[in-house]
């Protein structure tokens, strides 16, 4: 069993609190991309150059200024297992790109895992800050402060006309990616989701699934983020996302109210069927688990179910992923074995049991 704390619990400490609009907005995230001047981008760097970057940035992370924010741990990805890397991805603490290119990669994690600083990912430095609920401004304030600490000690690649220089052209400018993870089951059930998301993309925002670009929107979870970083200030990016997300929240609330007024019995039946299947199923693939958990979460938010909490459901979203399943039960699994263990874990979690028979 790994000794790293991030794999001991599926739910990061920052997710245990409830932020504003938490029945719809799961989390708010700011990610800042930066590179060092006079060093080639990671994709072109030699091993020695990447090591030099890692040493310089990890030294900054040990400074007193960063320690004033909280306690941090530096994890070298070359020193942890592939399973540990997968768990980090499933918890959104590192990107799949960093997990796959980890010879000279590292992640600096805060104790509560709300801050994740990636080194030698697509860019030399990626600062990520996560908050529960709809707190995008708060996440930006924290990320900006951490960025200032690194900028004081490191010479960033910056151009007066283009702004911060990044590996991907879509990040050039502010280098900021602001996003909110939203649970939108009512908009899906009322067939409004495509119209809403189409309108979102027309105002310069992108919509992705649970694990970012190219991922499917499993469990009615959608990640809404800015698509453009050049030509807008940081505050304009944040304000635009906040305004659009606020409108989506209001649409989702209206759709939930309409469902309860027009189709209450059908919604109650759907929620209770999903709860019953999750409580008694012997096998469960990840796609069905995500959809059933979405139904149950909607039922909890609407007051149909009173015996489950959003925290349990948030935890299950991570615990039922392949890497965390294998970590929990301390065994390598085939897809069929994972489906069996996933169903077992969900049953026990819903009953409040914590002994899964693993290590």
Tens of pLDDT, residue by residue over 165-180, are 999 888 889 999 999 9
Which of 211, 226, 256 terminates a domain? The answer is 256
Look at residue 356 and tell me if it is in a domain: no
Number of structural domains (the chain) is: 2
- Does residue 246 share a domain with residue 269? no
Q: Is 210 known as a binding-site position? A: yes
Q: Say which residue, 16 or 287, is predicted with more confidence.
A: 287
Q: Which helix (H) or strand (E) holds 261?
A: helix 234-262
- Does residue 275 share a domain with residue 244? no
What residues does 176 pair with on adjacent strands?
32
| pLDDT value of position 358 | 47
- Lowest-pLDDT choice from 34-38, 230-234, 332-336: 230-234
The mean pLDDT of 145-162, rounded to a whole number, is: 92
pTM: 0.89
Q: Is 319 known as a binding-site position? A: no
- Does residue 268 share a domain with residue 247? no
Look at residue 237 and tell me if it is in a domain: yes
Strand 176-183, strand 25-34: pairing: antiparallel
Q: Is 270 known as a binding-site position? A: no
Residue 319: exposure state from Cβ atoms within 10 A (0-12, 13-18, ≥19): buried
Q: Is 213 known as a binding-site position? A: yes
Other beta carbons less than 10 A from residue 51's beta carbon: 14
Q: Is 208 known as a binding-site position? A: yes
| pLDDT value of position 354 | 64
Look at residue 185 and tell me if it is in a domain: yes
| pLDDT value of position 359 | 39
Q: Is 5 known as a binding-site position? A: no
Instruction: Name the one residue in this structure whose structure tokens are 């105002």.
Output: 203
Look at residue 333 and tell me if it is in a domain: yes
pLDDT of residue 152 exceeding 70: yes
Look at residue 3 and tell me if it is in a domain: no
For residue 208 the two structure tokens come to 């992705």
- Does residue 240 share a domain with residue 120? yes
pLDDT of residue 255 exceeding 50: yes
Encode pLDDT of 293-313 as tens digits. 999 999 999 999 988 888 888
Residue 182's nearest CA partner among 213, 240, 223, 215 is: 223
CATH number at residue 228: 3.30.590.10
Whole-angstrom Cα distance, residue 140 to residue 130? Answer: 9
| pLDDT value of position 331 | 85
Say if residues 19 and 135 touch (Cβ distance below 8 Å).
yes
Look at residue 158 and tell me if it is in a domain: yes
Q: Is 215 known as a binding-site position? A: no
| pLDDT value of position 308 | 87
- Does residue 206 share a domain with residue 64? yes
Q: Is 195 known as a binding-site position? A: no
17 DSSP assignment: S
Q: Is 37 known as a binding-site position? A: no
Which of 214, 233, 256 terminates a domain? The answer is 256
Look at residue 359 and tell me if it is in a domain: no
Residue 296's nearest CA partner among 309, 287, 280 is: 309
Q: Is 283 known as a binding-site position? A: no
Residue 241's nearest CA partner among 195, 180, 194, 196 is: 180
Q: Is 292 known as a binding-site position? A: no
Q: Is 30 known as a binding-site position? A: yes
Q: Say which residue, 275 or 219, is predicted with more confidence.
A: 275
Instruction: Name the one residue in this structure whose structure tokens are 């600096």.
Output: 108
- Does residue 242 share a domain with residue 93? yes
| pLDDT value of position 264 | 96
Say if residues 143 and 151 touch (Cβ distance below 8 Å).
no
Q: Is 181 known as a binding-site position? A: yes
- Does residue 319 share a domain with residue 213? no
**Residue 300 structural domain:** 264-351
- Does residue 279 share a domain with residue 168? no
DSSP string, 115-146: EEEEESSSSSEEEEEEEESS-HHHHHHHHHHH
- Classify the C-alpha dihedral 298-301-302-303 as positive or negative: positive
- Does residue 345 share a domain with residue 212? no
Which of 221, 256, 291 terminates a domain? The answer is 256
- Does residue 314 share a domain with residue 211? no
Residue 243: exposure state from Cβ atoms within 10 A (0-12, 13-18, ≥19): exposed
The mean pLDDT of 31-37, rounded to a whole number, is: 96
Q: Give the percent of the chain with pLDDT over 70.
A: 93
- Does residue 293 share a domain with residue 245? no
Q: How far is CA 129 from CA 47, 126, 142, 300, 328, in A?
A: 28, 10, 7, 27, 26
Q: Is 31 known as a binding-site position? A: yes
- Does residue 337 share a domain with residue 226? no
Look at residue 2 and tell me if it is in a domain: no
């Amino acid at each position: 069993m790994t000794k790293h704390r991030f794999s001991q619990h599926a739910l990061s400490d920052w997710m245990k609190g409830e932020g504003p609009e938490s029945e719809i907005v799961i989390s708010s995230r700011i990610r800042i991309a930066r590179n060092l001047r006079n060093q080639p981008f990671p994709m072109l760097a030699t091993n020695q150059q990447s090591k030099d970057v890692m040493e310089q940035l990890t030294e900054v992370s040990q400074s007193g200024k960063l320690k004033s924010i909280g306690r941090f741990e530096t994890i070298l990805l070359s020193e942890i297992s592939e399973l540990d890397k997968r768990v980090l991805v499933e918890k959104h603490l590192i990107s799949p790109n960093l997990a796959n290119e980890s010879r000279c990669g590292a992640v600096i994690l805060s104790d509560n895992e709300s801050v994740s600083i990636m080194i030698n990912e697509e860019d030399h430095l990626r600062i990520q800050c996560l908050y529960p609920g709809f707190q995008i401004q708060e996440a930006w304030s924290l990320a900006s402060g951490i960025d200032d600490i690194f900028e004081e000690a490191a010479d960033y690649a910056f151009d007066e006309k283009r702004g911060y220089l990044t590996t991907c052209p879509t990040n050039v400018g502010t280098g900021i990616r602001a996003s909110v993870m939203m649970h939108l089951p009512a908009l899906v059930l009322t067939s409004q989701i495509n119209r809403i998301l189409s309108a979102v993309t027309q105002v310069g925002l992108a919509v992705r699934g649970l694990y970012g670009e190219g991922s499917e929107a499993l469990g009615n979870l959608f990640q809404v983020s800015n698509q453009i970083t050049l030509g807008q200030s940081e505050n304009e990016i944040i304000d635009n996302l906040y305004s659009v997300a606020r409108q989506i929240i209001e649409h989702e609330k209206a759709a939930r109210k309409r469902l309860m007024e027009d189709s209450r019995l059908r919604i109650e039946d759907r929620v209770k069927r999903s709860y019953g299947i999750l409580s008694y199923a012997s096998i469960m693939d990840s796609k069905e688990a995500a959809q059933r958990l979405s139904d149950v979460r909607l039922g909890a938010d609407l007051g149909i179910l009173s015996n489950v909490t959003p925290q349990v459901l948030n935890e299950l979203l991570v615990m039922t992923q392949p890497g965390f399943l294998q970590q929990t039960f301390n065994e390598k699994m085939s897809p069929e074995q994972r489906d069996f263990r996933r169903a077992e874990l969900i049953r026990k979690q819903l009953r409040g049991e914590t002994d899964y028979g693993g290590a």
